[in-house]
Amino acid sequence: MLFFSFFKTLTNQTVTIELKNDIRIRGILKSVDQYLNIKLDDVEVLDLDKYPHLSSVKNMFIRGSVVRYVMLPRSEVDVGLLEDATRREAANQVGKAR
């Protein structure tokens, strides 16, 4: 659930998503859910000439399972905080496993 919470803090930021079929889409992150399905507003498809079917799309729902990368604005990510949270989550997992 850590990354779900993390993405929730990034709503209304501009992100670029690369899909597993190499399409790259930039847009404003509007929503995310437990599967990391992502909703983008004001989308802009990079290399649109290759993907003409996306030319008149204004907002988009992307299934989490087809996402390869999400590129985030550097200034909006508190790396230290994220590292701490990750360690805490990992420690919790170990605790649960015992």
Give the pair of three-digit tokens for residue 22.
Answer: 């190499």
Rounded CA gap, 15 and 25, in Å?
Answer: 8
Residue 94 CB, shortest distance to another protein, in Å, is 27
Residue among 56 and 96 whose Cβ is closer to another protein: 56
Binds another protein (CB under 8 A): choice among 47, 65, 95, 96: 65
C-beta of residue 21 within 8 angstroms of C-beta of residue 66: yes
User: Which residues, 6 or more positions from 22, have their beta carbon under 8 angstroms from its beta carbon?
Assistant: none
Task: Establish if 33 lies at the interface with another protein (CB under 8 A).
Answer: yes
Q: Is 8 one of the binding residues for another protein (CB under 8 A)?
A: yes
- 11 is a site residue for another protein (CB under 8 A): yes
Q: For the CB of residue 24, give the shortest distance to another protein in the complex, in Å.
A: 12
Contact 51, 14 (CB under 8 A): no
Whole-angstrom distance, CA of residue 78 vs CA of residue 68 = 22
State which residue, 55 or 93, has the beta carbon closest to another protein: 55
Q: Is 96 in the site for another protein (CB under 8 A)?
A: no
